[in-house]
């Protein structure tokens, strides 16, 4: 009988008897390794109740107390890196090295969360009139719902929830049901770090749980990372239920390469940013845009050479550059996208279908796949391909490359490789993307800068981390106060609308 991973509510693991469950697979082998409990409305009610009660006390604790938990969590995360990486690799399929890189960025998010007293400071004005002082303060919103994707089982949740907890909120988290193992380790580490019971809760499940979270009146704010279709649904349903929602969705990120660029470095950057983690990253480079035919010809040759050197293998193969995709359904979807691109007229330069990994015949593997002569009318250009199939487009000028980039529905990240400052400046100014790289293949900012795309890559005004995350997880209160002299004569009654006048 398979092990069942249960929910985590008020500091305890809950494994429902006879309830719905779903399979957890090892993508490297294709075998079912455990089951995940699926919650329902009653489970969500229980979690929100626990979070609500805990939030009242946690929000009143000192900044120093909350920060101490974050510092301790950082130490525990570092110590648990190997354990976390093993679980992430086994459930996700990414290599151990890739998983450890993800954990490092999660720890960076925790480190920034320790700055919460600084980024939540209010404002103060003395004697605005009539002896009245006015000040603003940021206070926690209460209970925050977090919905996170499979591709970053620990980084996205931690940069999301680290700040939410640090500023004084309680959490109800719905991790991806495909990768629940790391979530349970994180629950244990937070408990060891001294976080009070009920501040952090996990409810596993599918759309039933998502809807329960979005509809629950006890949840004040929702943060989401995932696919665009689901993210738009979360934003619309959440806001319809009077919640603050920040929804971070898909990307189709373009990499423009100018003729003056270091083409070998650009080719290496494209392969690294395009195929890392089997291309299952919203910030992955999807389309290469060489400017000029000569640039395209040279760059194509260099890219092919570097792709041929890639090694695909199971998550625990130290020689593997990337591993399997997350599921059999994902593999089928990527292979369908490849077939459609061929039918649409794109040139298949390298075909990763049918790759065989000895001893892992049932794993969900796709080798690196490359198309050339992708055009804007193709589905391959229009839709995010969440797997190792990348494309080359041709642009005659920088103007055309910018136009191709801006014509897309998504605006997550875009990058340019060039030695020319003027070209880089134009690109930064004119491209409609939330994160821009100049000779940087993945412009994922450090945790103390805001993360978030434009257009259909983000719904809502919040950002995933950085100073704006602290603002998203807090609400403003503005106070006007006056302390009259007890010996002063009673003020005359006035009905004039002039509350801050020196005469009032």
Active site residues: 282
Query: To which residue do tokens 């075909």 refer?
Result: 351
CA 362 to CA 174: how far, in whole Å? 29
CA 12 to CA 93: how far, in whole Å? 28
Is residue 165 within 8 Å of 149, Cβ to Cβ? no
Q: Which helix (H) or strand (E) holds 343?
A: helix 328-344
- Smallest CA-to-CA distance from 135 within 388, 383, 457, 477 is with 477
Query: To which residue do tokens 């491209």 refer?
Result: 431
120 Cβ partners below 8 Å, 6+ apart?
138, 167, 470, 474
- Smallest CA-to-CA distance from 88 within 13, 193, 178 is with 178
User: Which tokens belong to 3?
Assistant: 């092990």
- Smallest CA-to-CA distance from 376 within 400, 404, 354, 348 is with 404
CA 101 to CA 92: how far, in whole Å? 14
3-class DSSP state for residue 265? helix
Query: To which residue do tokens 């093993």 refer?
Result: 86
- The sheet carrying 132-140 orders its strands as 124-129, 132-140, 474-481
109 phi-psi bin (left φ>0, alpha ψ -120 to 50, beta other): alpha
Q: Are strands 132-140 and 369-372 parallel, antiparallel or unpaired?
A: unpaired
């Amino acid at each position: 009988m398979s092990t069942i991973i249960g929910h985590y509510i008020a500091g305890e693991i809950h494994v429902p008897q006879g309830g719905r469950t779903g399979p957890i697979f090892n993508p490297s082998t294709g075998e079912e390794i455990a089951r995940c409990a699926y919650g329902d409305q009653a489970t969500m009610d229980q979690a929100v109740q626990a979070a609500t009660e805990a939030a009242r006390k946690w929000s009143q604790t000192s900044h120093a107390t909350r920060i101490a938990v974050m510092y301790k969590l950082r130490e525990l995360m570092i110590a648990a890196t190997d354990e976390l990486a093993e679980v992430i690799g086994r459930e996700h399929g990414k290599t151990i090295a890739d998983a450890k890189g993800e954990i490092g960025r999660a720890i960076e998010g925790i480190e920034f969360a320790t700055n919460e007293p600084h980024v939540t400071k209010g404002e103060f004005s003395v004697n605005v009139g009539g002896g009245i002082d006015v000040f603003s303060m940021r206070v926690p919103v209460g209970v925050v719902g977090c919905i996170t994707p499979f591709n970053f089982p620990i980084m996205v949740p931690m940069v999301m929830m680290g700040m939410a907890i640090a500023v004084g909120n309680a959490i109800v988290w719905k991790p991806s049901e495909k990768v629940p193992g790391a979530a349970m380790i994180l629950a244990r580490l937070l408990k060891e770090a001294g976080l009070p019971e009920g501040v952090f809760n996990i409810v596993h499940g599918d759309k039933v749980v998502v809807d329960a979270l979005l509809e629950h009146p006890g949840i004040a704010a929702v943060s989401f990372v995932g696919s665009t279709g689901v993210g738009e649904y979360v934003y619309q349903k959440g806001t319809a239920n009077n919640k603050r929602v920040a929804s971070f969705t898909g990307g189709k990120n373009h990499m423009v390469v100018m003729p003056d660029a270091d083409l070998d470095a650009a080719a290496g950057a494209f392969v690294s940013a395009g195929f890392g983690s089997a291309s299952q990253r919203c910030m992955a480079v999807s389309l290469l845009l060489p400017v000029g035919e000569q640039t395209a010809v040279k760059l194509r040759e260099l890219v092919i050479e570097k792709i041929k050197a890639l090694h695909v293998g199971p998550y625990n193969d130290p020689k593997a550059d990337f591993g399997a995709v997350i599921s059999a359904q994902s593999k089928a979807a990527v292979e369908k996208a490849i077939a459609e691109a061929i039918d649409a007229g794109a040139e298949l330069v390298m075909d990763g279908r049918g790759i065989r990994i000895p001893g892992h015949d049932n794993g969900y593997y796709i080798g690196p796949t490359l198309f050339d002569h992708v055009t804007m009318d193709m589905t391959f250009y229009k839709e995010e391909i969440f797997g190792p199939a990348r494309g080359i487009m041709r642009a005659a000028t920088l103007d055309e490359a910018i136009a191709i980039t801006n014509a897309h529905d998504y605006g997550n990240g875009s990058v340019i490789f060039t030695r020319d400052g003027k070209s880089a400046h134009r690109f930064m100014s004119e491209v409609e993307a939330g994160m821009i790289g100049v000779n940087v293949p993945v412009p994922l900012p450090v945790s103390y800068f805001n993360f978030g795309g434009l257009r259909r890559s983000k719904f809502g005004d919040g950002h995933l981390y950085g100073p704006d995350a602290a603002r998203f997880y807090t609400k403003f209160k503005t106070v006007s106060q006056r302390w009259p002299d007890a010996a002063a004569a009673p003020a005359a009654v006035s009905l004039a609308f002039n509350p801050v006048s020196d005469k009032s």
